[in-house]
Structure 1
Amino acid sequence: MAKWLAQWIENIAVPPAIGDNTHAGYRGDIEKHLIPGLGAHRLERLAPEHLEKLYTTMQRNGSAPGNAHHVHRTIRTALNEAVRRGHIASNPASVAKAPVLPDAEVDPYDVDEVKRLLKVAAGLHRNSARWALALALGLRQGEALGLRWEDVDLDGGVLWVRQSRLRPKYLHGCGGKCGQRAGSCPKRVAARPITKATKSRAGRRRIGLPAQLVGLLARHREEQAAERARALDMWREGGWVFTSPTGEPVNPSTDYHQWKALVRKAGVRDARLHDARHSAATVLLVLGVPERTVMSIMGWSTTAMAARYQHVTDPIRRSVAERVGGLLWDSEAEGDSGSPVSTADVGERT
């Protein structure tokens, strides 16, 4: 097992066949858990029970169920390749019971909370339109930060999602002599590109812009032009829609902290930045937008994603309850008895 896992991560499951982040996740699982826990087993004799024992041991030692589940996916992928190459006849990870993931409780912002966030965001001095894209259209963080002006057609009222901003990763440019982390090295060098192309067909999409959002983006472009003029030679032009004060693309970490500051300033309950995407999807549910259209806007490849991201909120529940009550208890027909109307009455009104 140790030999196969090393071969797989060093020579098979490597960029550009997979993403840098995916590769780093696989490598972490292999070095920290899979080789220490399973490396001594012979590949062809590995059994589902060996994997289940590893997952149990991980969780008893403090690993979260999500970490154990990630290890399960990594070993399943590595062994699928072993099956494909004829090293083993079947994949024991396909039989082993995966660690159970607790259901993540997501309580998206309701319409009033979204309005409050948009109102406060509109008063920000920089990049206020960025939050409108998240709350109104559900763009992922990387998709919003990866936008260039060439992807936005304000006259036509559309934007194209073509690429995603990556989290920066650096290597020492000094050979490690500075004694600092690679990200703080005075001579640091980038270890990955700024963006990557959206890999799925569903993720590459064209989205219509509400008129209000067109106006926000137009004003944002004017503000950016003024900022560019003030920065003079310090400006680093890259065509980014959202930038630092000197034109560089916004760092995802900076974006996260700006989101938290917006939530505090708006006085709404704290939530993850990604929960704004759940809120946008739920707004589309409230509006009754057809599922296929929602999939196109959100960049989903399967209808199952609607069940994951669209939530029946309390206002929706109240609206449904009122409609049910209006159908079953007609105030004019029931008089003082409080009795539901008959099916015949309903049929006549229909």
Structure 2
Amino acid sequence: MKIMIGQYEASLYEENGGWTGAISLGFRPDGKRNRPKRKGKHKTEVKRKLKQLVADLEKGIETDDKYTVAACVDDFLAKGLKGKSENTHKVYRSLAKNHITPKIGRIKLKELTADHVDDWLGEMARERSTETVRRSHNLLTRSIRMAARRDKVGRNVSELVDAPDGCVGRPSKSLTLRQAAKLIETAQRHDAPWRLGAYVVLCLMSGIRTEEARALTWTDVDLDKAVVYVLRAERHGGDTKTRTSRRGLAIAKQAVTALSAHKARQAVERLAASEMWHERDLVFCQEDGSGLSADQVCNEFQKITKAAGLGDQWVPRELRHTFVSLLSDHGVTIDKIADLVGHAGTHTTETVYRHRLKPVITGGAEVMDTIFKTKSA
């Protein structure tokens, strides 16, 4: 059966218990016929799909009835993240694998509606954190936006939906003074199998971020003057989180002792590795001098917390939270703490790190020396 859909001639015929419609668009550059098809149970359904096909053609949209949401997101992951860090790629791949593909990945992109997106986000919000919900929505929106720029879809239905709030995530914790003292004692054990004891002591007693500690080089450390210069971070581009994050920090005596012992141990490892050593001048590294990933640091840190009797549910960033809490508990003002942790103002210090913030003034390293000297006495 021949029919006209706009200016295009289409064929309708029965096939496999249903109906198939096809529009002839001439020949492709490879000489094969360009004849896109649409299928359905009834003629009316097929006609509706053919009309949509023609509407897309007139808008310049490349019609592909098999192009799914999953394929759209995969294309974005392959082409839309150029120049981004490996960690960003890893996060987005995980979001796609765990939250998009299993739920709405099979839907044809052209058939995806705002209701589909709304229902998907609503279901996710009942089980996942707000951050996960919003990041997943952002990934879908950016993926469809790229597809629209490549004429694979007419509009971005994901932009029509607002991401709801998800479940409240686990808030960061801070160690008590007793727990912190036990952790430091355990971290500095001479017979310990772990290599990051000095990392734990430094982060807890200086409040530097875990990505700043991983990027720290020996050139940035002056053990004679007891100063550490935070100039870079293990982030995309190597920059610190903010401009004010670039700072010099006086470090407590225990941190100097721990770093000195760590440096001596590392010198032995460098000699043992010989030509296999990766000379990056990193303070905290693997046995061959190469850098540490965030997961490696976390796993090692949890071994130390477990050995200290604190369990393995702690993460490295909570050393920074502990630093803020202990300083505040011992009379350091919020603005002074903000300076020490590299915040541009006190807002983040108050809202993110407000475990026990109290007002009055003193300094960072001196207070830490006083805190743990008092504890050990």
- CA gap 1:7/1:225 in 2 versus in 1, 3 angstroms: closer
Which residue type is aligned with residue 324 of structure 2?
A: A
Q: Deviations over 1:99-156 (max 9, x none)?
A: 4222424432111211111122122454421111221223333332222112223344
Matched residue type, 2:257:
G
Matched residue of 1:197: which SS? coil
CA–CA separation in structure 2 for the residues paired with 1:133 and 1:148: 13
Give the conservation status (yes or no) of the 8 Å contact 2:77–2:92: yes
* Residues 160 and 206 in structure 1, CA contact (< 8 A), matched pair in contact too: yes
Stretches of structure 2 lacking an aligned partner (at least 5 in a row): 1-67, 359-377
Contact 1:295–1:301, Cα closer than 8 Å, also in 2: yes
Confirm or deny that 1:219 pairs with 2:261. yes
Q: Contact 1:80–1:91 (CA<8 Å) still a contact in 2?
A: no
- 1:37 corresponds, among 89, 104, 115, to 104
CA distance in 2, matches of 1:285, 1:271: 24
Which residue of structure 2 lines up, in the alignment, with residue 208 of structure 1?
249
Choose which of 209, 213, 217 in structure 2 pairs with 1:144: 213
| Structure-2-length-normalised TM-score | 0.59
Checking the alignment, whether the CA contact within 8 Å between 2:184 and 2:200 is kept in structure 1 is yes
Equivalent residue, structure 2, for 1:277: 320
Deviation at 1:272, TM superposition (A): 1.7
SS at match of 2:205: helix
Map 1:281-296 → 2, pairs under 5 A: 281-296=324-339
1:23/1:137 CA distance change after superposition, 3 Å: same
Please say if residues 285 and 310 of structure 1, whose CA atoms lie closer than 8 Å, have aligned partners that are also in contact.
Answer: no
Matched, 1:308 2:377: no
| Structure 1 equivalent of residue 341 of structure 2 | 298
Report what 2:140 is aligned to: 75
1:312-327 equivalences in 2 (<5 Å):
312=356
1:51, 1:107 → 2: CA distance?
34
In 2, the alpha carbon distance for the partners of 1:9 and 1:254 equals 25
Matched, 1:249 2:291: yes
Q: Distance in 2 between matches of 1:254 and 1:23?
A: 18
The secondary structure found in structure 1 opposite 2:322 is helix
2: CA distance, partners of 1:278 / 1:116:
17
Distance 1:104 1:80, change over 3 A: farther
Greater length-normalized contact order (CA 8 Å, ≥ 6 residues apart): 1
Unaligned runs of 5+ in 1: 166-194, 317-350
SS at match of 2:270: helix
Equivalent position amino acid for 2:242 in 1: R
Is the Cα contact below 8 Å between 1:152 and 1:160 reproduced in 2?
Answer: no
Aligned length: 279
Q: What CA RMSD, in Å, does the superposition of the two structures yield over aligned residues? A: 4.0
Q: Which amino acid in structure 2 is aligned with residue 279 of structure 1?
A: T
CA contact (8 A) 1:202 1:296 kept: no
Rg comparison, structure with higher value: 2
SS in 2 for 1:285: helix
State how 1:90-169 maps to structure 2 within 5 Å. 93=159, 96-124=162-190, 126-156=195-225, 157-164=227-234
Quick one: percent identity of the two aligned structures? 23
Partner of 2:82: 15
Distance 1:217 1:52, change over 3 A: same
Secondary structure of the residue that 2:234 maps to in structure 1? Answer: strand
Q: Which amino acid aligns with 2:352?
A: R
Contact residue 75 and residue 143 of structure 2 kept, 8 A = no
Displacement of 1:53 in angstroms is 0.7
The alignment partner of 1:54 has SS state of: helix
Distance 1:110 1:91, change over 3 A: farther
Contact 2:211–2:234, Cα closer than 8 Å, also in 1: yes
In structure 2, do the counterparts of structure 1 residues 262 and 94 end up closer, same or farther at CA, with 3 Å as the change threshold?
farther
The 1:34/1:288 distance shift into structure 2, 3 A limit, reads same
Give, in whole Å, the separation in 1 of the partners of 2:148 and 2:332: 43
Q: Is the 8 A contact 1:140 1:277 kept in 2?
A: yes
| Alpha-carbon distance change, 80 to 305 in structure 1, aligned in 2, over 3 angstroms | farther
> What is the distance in 1 between the residues matched to 2:342 and 2:332?
15
State the shift of 1:308 in Å: 2.0
- In 2, are the aligned partners of 1:161 and 1:203 still within 8 Å (CA)? no
- Secondary structure in 2 aligned to 1:164? coil
How much has 1:241 moved relative to structure 2? 0.8
Contact 1:75 1:93 in 2 (8 A): no
Corresponding letter in the other structure for 1:297:
L
Amino acid at match of 2:282: W
Residue pair 1:138, 1:280 contacting (<8 A) in 2 also: yes
Give the letter for the 2:183 counterpart.
L
Alpha carbons of structure 1 residues 155 and 91: separation in structure 2 relative to 1, 3 Å: farther
Over 3 Å counting, the alpha-carbon distance change for 1:276 and 1:22 in structure 2 is same
> Of 232, 238, 261, which residue of structure 2 is paired with 1:197?
238
Q: Partner residue of 1:341?
A: none
For residues 305 and 93 of structure 1, the distance between their equivalents in structure 2, rounded to whole angstroms, comes to 33
Task: Write the letter of the residue equivalent to 1:137.
Answer: S
